[in-house]
A = this chain, B = another copy of it.
Amino acid sequence: MAEARSVDLNSDLGEAFGAYTIAPDEELFELISSANVACGFHGGDPRVMERTVSAATAAGVAVGAHPGFPDLVGFGRREIVATPDQVRTDTLYQLGALDAFCRTAGVAMQHVKAHGALYNRAVKDEATAAAIAAAVKAFNPTLIFVALPGSILCQAGEAEGLPIAREGFADRAYNPDGTLASRQVPGAIIHDPDIAAARAVRLVGEGKLTAIDGSELELAIDTLCLHSDTPGAVAIARAIRRRFAEAGITIRPMRER
């Protein structure tokens, strides 16, 4: 599987807000190839967004938008039963806001990845998925659409003709159907860097993953998500990079793959 011997590493960055910080952004920039930058609805503010785009660019990390539900106190992790029109226009607003900072930094936005509850809802709800994909298509049809492979979200991006980056998770447990296990389920978040790294190498190198019930999944992915706010995120990222180097897996932004 020569084509699987390179992968993108993406992480959610720029989720600080005002006086609040939440993740070790500075350390992660050196470890990833694509940054999903919060756009002010679930996290991020204009200063944080500008700094994040600038730091990502300086580190050679590609920039993408990370739109979420308008729910700062819930950090975008609570589903809002929004209409498709609300999802579509909220997404457009956030894409535009981030694009201002890409433009002034002289960098082209690479991709879009929905955040938290918006991503999770879009993975299973057609109208939400279509609303996000429609916003991306209308804003810039060359943006790469990041989605769980095989999901309704992925299909919505394909239906709009968007370039797709299929996403995998090294630090999250999977259900046997290829969906992510809920964060509420024990064991849903993998904290051990060695276990996460071993899963990552197998997923990228062989396209295989063990689900939470012990069954085996086949998954072809283009980008691997490293959760920035998982305790030990930096340790996990370092372990994965070390194991990738040993396995001959190279790390490249999704647009270069």
Chain A interface (Cβ < 8 Å from any Cβ of B): 17-22, 40, 43, 45-47, 49-50, 70-75, 77-82, 85-86, 89-90, 92-101, 103-104, 117, 138-139, 229
Contact = CB atoms under 8 A, between A and B. Distances in A.
B89 A93 contact: no
A96 B92 contact: no
Nearest to A47: B89
Contacts of A40: 93
B117 A85 contact: no
A76 to B, nearest CB: 9
A89 B40 CA distance: 12
Nearest to A103: B139
Given A20-B75, A47-B89, 11 more contacts: A17-B20, A18-B74, A20-B22, A45-B73, A46-B89, A46-B93, A74-B80, A78-B86, A79-B81, A92-B101, A103-B138
Contacts of A117: 81
